[in-house]
Amino acid sequence: QERKAVTLLQQLQTIRNEKAAKRREQQARKSGERAKKQEIEASWRGKLNKERRKDRYREQGKEQKRRDMEAEGGGRAAKKARRNSRASG
């Protein structure tokens, strides 16, 4: 009777261990898939952020150039006036 109980407990423990191993394997597989997706997403996000930074820096450069021209008395109107004064002078 006792041997039957021990055998039954061993069988139950074996089943639990197999289920746990299967669960760990499935979690590892899903974790790998998730990591791969995150890597792909990080890649395109990085490219997108790089492009946005380039655009922002380009716009900042244009703005700075415009401010410098205004500080020098430049701009379209001043440029046109200088051109006209050279042509008439």
Q: Report d(CA 33, CA 20) in Å as an integer.
A: 20
Give the pLDDT score at 48: 96
Give the pLDDT score at 40: 95
Reported pTM:
0.49
pLDDT at 89 over 80: no
Q: Report d(CA 16, CA 9) in Å as an integer.
A: 10
* Sequence-distant (≥ 6) Cβ neighbours of residue 79 within 8 angstroms: none
Higher-confidence residue of 26 and 85: namely: 26
pLDDT at 29 over 90: yes
